[in-house]
Amino acid sequence: MKNRLKYDVVVVGGGVAGVAAALASARKGKKVVLIEKQCILGGLATSGLITIYLPICDGKGHQVSFGISEELLRLSIKNGCQRKYPQPWLEGGSFEEKAEIRFETQFNPYYFALEMEELLKTNGVDILYDAYMFKVTRKDDIIESIHIDTVDDIKEIKANSFVDATGDAKIFNLADIKTRNYEKGNILANWYYYIRDGKLELKKFGTVEKTEYIERTTGEVIVKDRFVGGDYDSLNHFIKAAHHESLTEFTNEIKNDSSFEVVAIPMMANMRMTRCLDGEDKMILNDDDPYVQDSIGVVADWRRRGYIYEMPFSALYDPKLKNVFAAGRCIKTDDEMWDVTRAIPACAVSGEAAGIAATIYAEEKEIEITVLRDELKKAGQILNIRDIYE
């Protein structure tokens, strides 16, 4: 492979948002490459073992997210569902049955990662694994190229447009565009799989938010109940603390039950919110007015039944950088909406929109919102709440 590459669209980050972006752009006939620093796709959903595909419905019987968001949910359990099989939604159940069970599921992370890879390859996407982006070349209001470090050399990749699906707004940050860290902090988490009495189980170690902020000594690591995102020292402490707490738990389990056996631990930090794009036109949690003029899709609040929101295109870009679009956990939000849009279904919704926006910009060198919305509708996405409840 040459040290200088050229594509129509470059997607950085191979989590669910990046997969959705690359897939959407490739289906529009673009030459697309996806850059991933891990060796499998899926990000937190697979490498992090956060294997719950949260709801794409409102909790009251109405599906709200469509397109690639639904496609990937179905793909995640193509080879079988671990838990939460949404039978009414997949097998033609009644409205009443759908209202009782949310359209969500628990999947096998390894099947899902490999199926996503096959899907991207089938659609012509190039995938570069074990590649770390460390530099961008910016000229005025566009990014001309990114630079990645690989096992044998450094490669420069040029493109007409880019999608930042890194999870921490790394392209924007490297380009000196305003970003912000998650100052409220992430709780300590380290999901893992284990076998007890021959039965496979997922331990959701670190799922419930805590309001108090405390410190305690854990071995040589100072553990804080909240770990600030986007800060390397905090990330490092998070990883070591999670490992220590997990080992302590494993040791105690083994002492009490000889049938207990750990079979998989995360290969990336279970830190949900780290760094995102910042700006006044961010997506905010507003229960009184969930409608926006430039909506590119609808997402559900996975924490509460009956609450859904339109996602604005303004949350996916910064005017100072015309050819880069955010997807997934690094879109522009307030803290409360960040907790909603970081979930897998919302990441797929923003990823699909970012991929199509990148395609349009690669062709036209500008984005007309009506054109973007029309393309998303053609792809099967419903963009407005009113259309869901008609």
Q: How high is the mean pLDDT in each 10-residue block of the chain (390 residues)?
A: 87 98 98 97 98 97 98 98 97 97 98 98 98 97 97 95 97 97 90 96 76 43 67 90 93 95 96 94 90 95 94 97 97 95 98 98 96 97 94
Encode pLDDT of 328-372 as tens digits. 999 999 999 999 999 999 999 999 999 999 999 999 999 999 999
Residue ranges with strand state E in 13-153: 32-35, 52-53, 105-106, 126-128, 132-139, 142-149
Burial of 264 (0-12, 13-18, 19+ CB in 10 A): middle
Encode pLDDT of 160-207 as tens digits. 999 999 999 999 999 999 999 998 888 889 999 999 999 999 999 886
How far, CA to CA in Å, does 113 sit from each of 19, 46, 48, 216?
10, 7, 12, 36
Alpha-carbon gap, residue 329 to 353, rounded angstroms:
14
pTM of the model: 0.94
Whether the CB-CB separation of 287 and 306 falls below 8 Å is answered with no
Position 229 scores a pLDDT of: 80
Alpha-carbon gap, residue 14 to 50, rounded angstroms:
15
| Structural domains of the chain in order of their starting residue, each with its CATH number | 4-181+275-388 (3.50.50.60), 192-264 (no CATH)
Alpha-carbon gap, residue 215 to 137, rounded angstroms:
41
How far, CA to CA in Å, does 127 sit from each of 12, 34, 124, 172, 184?
10, 5, 9, 21, 34
